[in-house]
Copies of this chain bind each other. A is one copy, B any other.
């Protein structure tokens, strides 16, 4: 995607994720043009992409509307994520390289550091989530399926909509952190079923955290 379109996409997406554009609110092209600073063409392109990624709803001749998520949607999203990430972990157990295992070990070590350091909780959560994503990315790549990877990418992006609404507690994160060590162990052991199971547990735990309220 080219400069203007990319910028428009990021800008609008951020505004949605930050909650600045409320769910169900209508997005008018003219307003967005003003906000992103480029003309309607790239703005429209960005809108089409956001619609394809399920951030907004497009009605013919009636513009765009920020998608509103229900609890059922979120539940659904996490169940699908559990299914796909579990599958990815299973495949990763078969294909993961030693280098990738090392990278994962590294990220997990850093997570330990983050949890035991004395930064603010907010900072800790932020750092942790980034490392968490790194671990998951390694699994996706090791699974060796472009298609699976892009599907998971979409699901994660959509999950971000919730992130801003709900703050994560560092305690809950620390509690689920042992999954990472076990995931690494299962992958090292090349144990497909173990890897699949632990990953599914990991996602279901995250889902529970969201739905029951940390």
Contacts and interface: CB of A to CB of B under 8 A. Distances in A.
Interface of A: 1-2, 41, 44-45, 48-49, 52, 54, 60-61, 73, 76-77, 80, 83-84, 87, 145-148, 151
B76 A147 contact: yes
B148 A60 contact: no
A87 B77 contact: no
A149 to B, nearest CB: 11
A80 B49 contact: no
Give the interface SS of chain A, mostly helix, strand, loop or mixed.
helix
Contacts of A77: 147
The 8 residue pairs across chains A and B that have the minimum distance between CB atoms:
A52-B52, A76-B145, A2-B60, A83-B87, A76-B147, A48-B48, A80-B147, A80-B148
Contacts of A87: 83
Given A48-B49, A52-B49, A60 B1 contact: yes
27 contacts: A1-B60, A2-B60, A2-B61, A41-B41, A44-B45, A45-B45, A45-B48, A48-B48, A48-B49, A49-B52, A52-B52, A54-B147, A73-B146, A73-B147, A76-B145, A76-B146, A76-B147, A76-B148, A77-B147, A80-B145, A80-B147, A80-B148, A80-B151, A83-B83, A83-B84, A83-B87, A151-B151
A44 B148 CA distance: 27
A41 B42 CA distance: 11
Contacts of A151: 80, 151
Given A76-B145, A83-B84, 14 more contacts: A1-B60, A41-B41, A45-B45, A48-B49, A54-B147, A73-B146, A76-B146, A76-B147, A76-B148, A77-B147, A80-B145, A80-B148, A80-B151, A151-B151
A73 B73 CA distance: 30
Contacts of A84: 83
A83 B41 CA distance: 39
Nearest to A87: B83
A85 to B, nearest CB: 12
